């Protein structure tokens, strides 16, 4: 019968220790692939690199390099894109048309809000 410590470490990858410069490079590479700060953190953890061990937060690194996009806005843009594609293909789908308007309004409100908050 395996020990409890062996069972816990079965599915995890061992933590890797890299320098802060390498960590920043990795974060920038992942951001250029189109990932948000949250997804970057997830992928780093899967690679065995834990972001909390380094001095800066991922979002702060992205802001310094001009790569940070608010994840709420980015997710709504993707959702609107999917709905628009669907609505173009299915002209009679009234619900998709309503959803397109609803999501567009949410996106507009969020953009206005973050514009006011940042200034």
Q: What pLDDT, in 10s, does the model give residues 55-92?
A: 888 989 999 999 888 889 999 999 999 999 999 999 99
Q: In this structure, what DSSP letter does residue 53 have?
A: G
Contact between 110 and 73 (Cβ < 8 Å): yes
Q: Specify if 1 maps to a domain.
A: no
Contact between 104 and 80 (Cβ < 8 Å): yes
Q: Specify if 7 maps to a domain.
A: no
In sequence order, which residues have a C-beta less than 8 Å from that of residue 14 and are 6 or more positions away? Answer: 48
Contact between 99 and 76 (Cβ < 8 Å): no
Q: Are residues 92 and 52 in the same domain?
A: no
Residue 101 in this model has a pLDDT that exceeds 90: yes
pTM listed for this prediction: 0.67
| pLDDT at residue 5 in the model | 56
Cα–Cα distance, 10 to 33 (Å, whole number): 30
8-29 residue pLDDT tens: 555 566 677 788 888 899 999 9
Q: Specify the number of domains making up the chain.
A: 2
| pLDDT at residue 36 in the model | 87
Which residue segment(s) compose the domain that 35 sits in?
13-64
Q: Are residues 96 and 76 in the same domain?
A: yes
In sequence order, which residues have a C-beta less than 8 Å from that of residue 81 and are 6 or more positions away? Answer: none
Q: Are residues 51 and 82 in the same domain?
A: no
- Please identify, among 49, 64, 79, the residue that sits at the C-terminal boundary of a domain: 64
Q: Specify if 6 maps to a domain.
A: no
């Amino acid at each position: 019968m395996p020990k409890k410590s062996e069972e816990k470490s079965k599915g995890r990858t061992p933590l890797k220790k890299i320098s802060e410069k390498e960590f920043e490079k990795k974060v920038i590479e992942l951001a250029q692939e189109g990932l948000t700060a949250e997804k970057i953190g997830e992928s780093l953890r899967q690679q065995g690199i834990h972001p909390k061990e380094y001095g800066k937060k991922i979002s702060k690194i992205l802001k310094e390099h001009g790569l940070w996009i608010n994840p709420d806005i980015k997710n709504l843009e993707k959702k609107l894109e999917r709905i628009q594609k669907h609505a173009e293909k299915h002209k009679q789908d009234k619900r998709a048309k309503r959803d397109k308007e609803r999501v567009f309004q949410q996106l507009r409100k969020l953009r206005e809000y973050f514009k006011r908050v940042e200034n």
